[in-house]
Each structure stands twice: as structure tokens, then as C-alpha cells.
Chain A
């Protein structure tokens, strides 16, 4: 089992650019969650999917953020346009029965 796979591991981009983060959940896990972690706010839930369907996106900070899950093995989180305050570590996690398995995260820096 390769675990939850995220790419890229690091992303540095200029303000105003589009950023796309990718996630491959563990096979057989039917729930996928996107979290953002900063020193100030800790881990925040952005959005989650059950069986590829978005259930709750109330944590998405602004319309600049969007997420998709076109199939059971792939999800994306897109920020357009990016801003310096979006700098954070973005984690994807998948869940089967209880608890979550987190991916390695994407460290995003917007300059």
C-alpha cells in the first residue's frame, strides 16, 4: 500500500498565478479530505468528498479555491489566483472506517 500520495511536495509560485495540488487516496477509501495547516490556525478542514461527491466545502476560504474529485483515485485542489496568505502546507487525507491517513503534504509558498 503506497499510502496517500500528494504532488508536488513543494510549490513556489508568484502571486496571481494558478496553483493545482494533486492527491491520490488509498485504494478502497471512500472519503477524501483536504486540510490546510499554518502555525497560526493549525489544521483546518477545507472540503471533503464521500464517494467522489463533494459534501461540505464550508471551510474553503474564498471563491479562489476549488476542488474536484473526478474519480475514486484522484482529487485536485486549485487556487486561482494565488495570494501570499495562501502560503501553508496542504494535506490530503483519506478514510475508510475511522481516523484518517494523511498524505505527505504540499508546502505552498506564494511570493
Chain B
């Protein structure tokens, strides 16, 4: 059973600073990872997908994958109060990198951006 682990937080970051969220995974064969954001009382929404080792940038968000150390990170630059949410890390359950067989989710890290 693939496992994805996250620190539940809360992680408190001042507005304008960089928020760093981390995720570790158990299956060395995992090829890709997803970051979802979930506001309180809302559904998860996909914000980043990373497949290769290294960094992937999209606006203020950067996902980092280190397969040797089996961890995935999400950096949020210039943090805004609207970034306050729970961030979920997920990995495909099967061998499909795109999650065709389902995704296994971490329990999420609660991020608070302090104005």
C-alpha cells in the first residue's frame, strides 16, 4: 500500500514570505505527484503536477521532486492570505503516472498566512 505522509501543521507564515510544504512517500517506484489545495468546506483543486526530478514552476508556485530522498515539496512565493488552506499531496496508486488507477492522498498540511 503506497503511503504519502505530510505534517498536519498548522504551518504559520507571514504574508509576503515563502511557504514551504513537504511530503514524503513510501513507494520508490512512484513516478509523479500532485498538489491539491482545499479551502475549508470546499473540494480539492489541482494546483501542480510534477513528473521529473527537479523543479517545476507555475506562477508563485514551485513544486520540487527528489526521487532519491523520496520527498516532494511545494513552495509558495509572496504568500497571500488567500493562500491559507489545506494542501494535499497525492501519488498515483497504480503504475500509471497520470493517476488512471486512483490517487492516494496525504492527510494534508494546514497553511495559515498571517497578514
A and B are partners in one complex rather than unrelated chains: yes
**Using a CB–CB distance below 8 Å, which chain A residues touch chain B?**
31, 33, 42-43, 45, 48, 50, 55-56, 91, 95, 97-105
Which listed residue, A43, A45, A56, touches B44 by the CB 8 Å rule? A43
Which listed residue, B34, B42, B100, B104, touches A104 by the CB 8 Å rule? B42
B9 within 8 A of A: no
Size of the chain B interface, CB-CB below 8 angstroms? 22
**Using a CB–CB distance below 8 Å, which chain B residues touch chain A?**
32, 34, 42-46, 49, 88, 93, 97-108
Number of A-B contacts (CB under 8 A): 47
CB nearest neighbor in A for B44: A102
CB of B93, distance to nearest CB on chain A (Å):
7
Q: In the complex the two chains form, what is the Cα distance from A105 to B100 in whole Å?
A: 21
CB nearest neighbor in A for B101: A56
| Contact indicator B105/A48 (Cβ below 8 Å) | no
| Contact indicator A105/B99 (Cβ below 8 Å) | no
Q: In the complex the two chains form, what is the Cα distance from A100 to B107 in whole Å?
A: 17
| Contact indicator A42/B99 (Cβ below 8 Å) | no
| Contact indicator B108/A42 (Cβ below 8 Å) | yes
Which listed residue, B98, B100, B107, touches A42 by the CB 8 Å rule? B107
